[in-house]
Structure formats: structure tokens, C-alpha cells
Amino acid sequence: MSEQKTSKELLNELLETHYDNAMKVQSEGKLLAWCTSISPQELLETMDIYAVYPENHAAAIGARKQAPDFINYSESNGYSSDLCSYARVNLAYMDILQSEAGNIPRPDLIFCCSNICNTVLKWYENISKELNIPLIVFDTPFNHQYEVNDQCTQYIKGQLLEAIGKLEQITGRKFDHDRFREVMKISSETSKWWKKASLEAAAKPSPLNGFELFNYMAAIVCARGTVAGRDLYKLWYEELRDKAAKGLGPWKDEDEKYRVMWDGIACWPYLGLTYKTLKKYGINMVTSTYPDSWYIVYDVDDLDGMARCYSSNYVNRNLSFGADNIVDIVNKFSLDGIVFHSNRSCKLMDFRQFEIQRQVEARTGVPSIIFDGDQTDPRAFNPSQFENRIQALVEMMESRR
């Protein structure tokens, strides 16, 4: 009997299969959709439409340090350098169709949810126009009130129902409600294991080095509605739970001296550098805003709940929620500091960063720094400026002990 695989091995296999299958399914008569990272994939899974995620793919291209090829292509095509770098990478990829980070074929339809971003609407609309393929949009209005209100819930639910009709039209098949229930159940379970695993990082020392969270995120995006995804996160949770029970920290060769969270998207081209810089000072990034982003949990058959969940992402919630959310993370994970990534690509995330920083510091007394960077464009990051701010954070954390 072969030994049981680790979650890391399962993760790598899952991602490899994800990209391999993406290149095959269309020749087998399946449709393939390009989707935003937190979209109601349940509908696609139910209709047996293969979902791939350009944001995930662009991040992988960034991590392989290949983004400049795509970014330059898009910019010479007339896209502004002020535009999101995921968009610039993906809009170029749509033409180039070849990357070192795995390939995805051109889509048959577009599945776009505005809960994480406003740029996606125009980005995906462009793809839909250029390729002349159907575009299904889920408009999740920004929540100016603390909770998602009933009107918004009904509005989004209406769009879910409409999308089902459109998918029936596109595929020429009836929507299978039994299968839908099954997928809803699996999706919620996967989300629960993902969150449960990431919560293990609350242990001191944390068994999790948060940069692993960035790696594991790839599969919560693309395999949330699958049994393989659910089993992966359950196993990951068990591994972290066991590690925490043994009192093991994030690294074998170093103790966890400081615990911080990372606000915003990773700097994919500098993943190794940012990780090593933090580790050099004994800083473990134990968590980020990611664990909650894919905590999409609702009861089977509860379309209202599903609609509310898809609108609940923290970037789609008001300032009070944004501040409460981080204060809660600071307390839950016993943090010593916060690293805010002022991400040139993401105006939506950066817009209120200064104010959130001010409020969180006033309420928790935890020091923080903001550094400039970008999720995929390497030109917007400077290693020595990053280290300078990180070391200053260490000096502030030290003086508050």
C-alpha cells in the first residue's frame, strides 16, 4: 500500500490536473468559462461547464516572473499602465495563449462577478466582445450598510436565477436541481475546511507560515465545488491541527518571533523575497484577509443565503466592517503588527487603507506599515524600500513589548 499523500502533494496534483484538463475538455465537447475568483461557480459545476480563473492564472504567471512579457504586450496594445496588472496580463494572454505557468484555452463564455473588483466588469466585457462570446455578469452592489440588505440580496438572487436560464440556453440542457444541491453542499464544506485550516494559525506558535496560505489559495479558487478540493482542505486542516498539537511553529530552522497579517494581495513576482525578508526578522505572516474571502457558507437550497454570501466579501463591505474585520483578526490571531500592501493594481483595496490603518491602530495599539507594490507588475516594488519598512515595523513592535 502506498503512503498517504500530503496535502501539499494533493495541492500540486490538483492544480496540475486543473490546467491539464482545461486544455482537453473543449475537444470532449464541454464548454469552458473564464470566471472571476469568487463567482458562483456552483452554477457552472452543476451544468458541467469547466471553470478556469484568469486571476489565478495571472498570479501564477506573476510568480513565474513572466508578467512583464504580457504587461508590455497589453500596454503596447493601448491598455493603460494604471490598469490592474491581472487584467493587463490576461488581456495579453488572450492573444498569446502561451505561458510558463501552465496554459488555459480561450473561453466559450464569461462568468463575471463584481464582488471583488470593479475593473473586472470592463475587463471581462472586453474579452466577451473581442471573442464574441456570451457574458454572464453578477452585479453585487457595494454594501454601504454594514450587512448585505434584503434588496441587494433579492437583486443578486434574481441574477442567479437569470443566469441559470442563460446557461440552459447556452448549453441546450436543463439545469439539474439535484446536482445543484449536491454542489452547494460540497462548496460549503470545502469553504468550511479552508477556514478551519487557516484558523489553526491562531495557535502560538502558528503551525502555518502564511505564505503557504497564498499557495493553497490557488485551489480554493478553482476547486471549491469539487470533492477533491474539499478533501484537500480537510487534510490540510488535519495536518495543521496535528502540528499545532505538537507545538510546532512555522519553520524548522527558526522561531516565530513576531506575528503579523498581510493586508491585500501577495506580490507574486516577489513572493520569495517578501517571504525571506519577513523571515529574516523572525516575522511569521500568520494570516491575511484571504481566509474569509472564500468562506462562502450557506444552507443547501438557500438561494437567498447564497446571494448574500457572494456579496459579503470584505472589499464589498463598508468602512466599519473593513475596520472591524481587521480588529477581529488582530485579536483572534494575537498579532504583533500588520503589513499593508498598497497595491498599485487594486484601487478598490487601497482606497481606504490609510483610514483602516488609522482606525485599527487606534483600537488595538498594534503598529503597522504600508509598502508600495503590485500583485503582478514587478516595476511597482522596490526590495530595499520594502525591507526598510519591515525593519521599522520590527523596531516599533519591539518597543511596544
Partner 1 sequence: MPERAYMGIDIGSSSSKAVIIDRDAAIRGEHIINLGTGSRGPADAIAKAFEQAGITKVDRTVATGYGRILFKEADKQITEISCHARGVKQLVPTAETVVDIGGQDAKVIRVKPDGRVENFVMNDKCAAGTGRFLEVMSRVLGVGIDQLSELADKGKPGVNISSTCTVFAESEVISQLSSGSSIEDVALGAHRSIAERIVGLAGRVGIEDDVVMTGGVALNDSVVQAVEDVSGHKITRLKDPQGMGAFGAALYARDLDN
Backbone φ and ψ for 9, nearest 5 degrees, come out as -65, -45
Rounded CA separation 225/53 (Å):
14
Q: How far is the CB of 264 from partner 1 (least distance, A)?
A: 15
**Which residue number, 97 or 392, has a Cβ lying nearer to partner 1?**
392
Q: Could you give the string, one character per residue 302-341, with x where binding to partner 1 holds by CB under 8 A and - elsewhere?
A: ----------------------------------------
Piece of the chain touching partner 1 by CB under 8 A; list 27-35, 235-243, 330-338, 389-397:
389-397
Piece of the chain touching partner 1 by CB under 8 A; list 64-72, 241-249, 256-264, 391-399:
391-399
Q: 52 CB contacts (<8 Å, ≥6 apart)? A: 18, 22, 32, 33, 34, 35, 104, 107, 222
Asked if residue 362 binds partner 1 (CB under 8 A), the reply is no
Rounded CA separation 113/121 (Å):
8
Asked if residue 354 binds partner 1 (CB under 8 A), the reply is yes
Strands 283-288 vs 337-343: parallel, antiparallel or unpaired: unpaired
Cβ contact 222:56 at 8 Å? yes
Count of positions on this chain that bind partner 1 (CB under 8 A): 18
Cβ contact 235:30 at 8 Å? no
**Which residue number, 151 or 399, has a Cβ lying nearer to partner 1?**
399
**What residue has cell string 514587478?**
378
Piece of the chain touching partner 1 by CB under 8 A; list 65-73, 243-251, 315-323, 353-361:
353-361
**Which residue number, 161 or 362, has a Cβ lying nearer to partner 1?**
362
Cβ contact 13:142 at 8 Å? no
Among 88, 259, 317, 389, binds partner 1 (CB under 8 A): 389
Asked if residue 81 binds partner 1 (CB under 8 A), the reply is no
Among 27, 80, 98, 384, binds partner 1 (CB under 8 A): 384
Asked if residue 189 binds partner 1 (CB under 8 A), the reply is no
Give the count of alpha carbons within 13 A of 124, CB side only. Answer: 27
Asked if residue 347 binds partner 1 (CB under 8 A), the reply is no
Among 335, 372, 375, 378, binds partner 1 (CB under 8 A): 372
Q: How far is the CB of 277 from partner 1 (least distance, A)?
A: 10
Asked if residue 380 binds partner 1 (CB under 8 A), the reply is yes
Piece of the chain touching partner 1 by CB under 8 A; list 54-62, 100-108, 155-163, 377-385:
377-385
Among 144, 276, 347, 358, binds partner 1 (CB under 8 A): 358
| SS3 state at 399 | helix
Rounded CA separation 209/279 (Å):
10
**Which residue number, 22 or 278, has a Cβ lying nearer to partner 1?**
278
Asked if residue 395 binds partner 1 (CB under 8 A), the reply is yes
Q: How far is the CB of 71 from partner 1 (least distance, A)?
A: 17
**Which residue number, 11 or 349, has a Cβ lying nearer to partner 1?**
349
Strand partners, 258: 283
Rounded CA separation 196/241 (Å):
9
Q: How far is the CB of 24 from partner 1 (least distance, A)?
A: 44
Cβ contact 201:208 at 8 Å? yes
Rounded CA separation 284/259 (Å):
5
Rounded CA separation 2/271 (Å):
33
Among the listed residues 283, 281, 292, the one whose alpha carbon sits nearest the alpha carbon of residue 249: 283
Cβ contact 61:376 at 8 Å? yes
- Contact residues for partner 1, defined by CB under 8 A: 342, 354, 358, 361, 367, 372, 380, 382, 384-385, 387-389, 391-392, 395-396, 399
